[in-house]
Amino acid sequence: MQAREGVRAWDPGALLVPRLHPSEDPAAYRALVGSDPGVGVIPHRAAALYDLLGAVDAVLTFHSSVGLEAMLFDRPIVSLEPFGEENPFSYGREGAVARSAEELARALSEDVAPGPNAQARRAARKRYLKDNLHAVGEKSAAQVRALIRALSSKGAP
């Protein structure tokens, strides 16, 4: 629920959309959030990942590889680390880190709105993709991005 509190503090009208891992039971999440209109739980396979990435303002991850795909869609990434565990995926350091609702609200405010922090993080995401996605270089990364955009029913902005 810290994620919901952080998102609400950032923007009271924002919607938090947890997209579950295949091993997670949506019933447990739905019971936890109850009738909160600010949370929409999406079971695995109920919505295409790339469609969601094309529509969101930011991506919150918790030990998930989805951050790499989010970078391809040029989305701000916040690694949720509520127990002080560092994200095991190396891209986690290219986004913001939040260990509390307050840190999440601050990270979203700094990374989603235009400004120096958002620009610096965007540049870091681009460098990471260039350095790690394909050793061949930026052209290959652009081709992979185009492929993922094509897989999305609406395409990424």
Global pTM exceeds 0.85: no
Stronger pLDDT, 131 or 106, i.e. the higher one:
106
pLDDT band at 138 (very low <50, low <70, confident <90, very high): low
Could you report the per-residue pLDDT of 72-100, keeping only the tens digit for each? 888 888 888 887 777 777 776 777 888 99
Mean pLDDT computed over 45-66: 86
Beta bridge partners of 98: 80
Q: What is the pLDDT of residue 152?
A: 59
Q: What is the pLDDT of residue 71?
A: 85
Q: What is the pLDDT of residue 45?
A: 79
Mean pLDDT computed over 108-126: 85
Residue 135 has pLDDT above 60, yes or no: no
Q: What is the pLDDT of residue 141?
A: 62
Topology (CATH level 3) of domain 2-151: Rossmann fold (3.40.50)
Residue 23 has pLDDT above 70, yes or no: yes
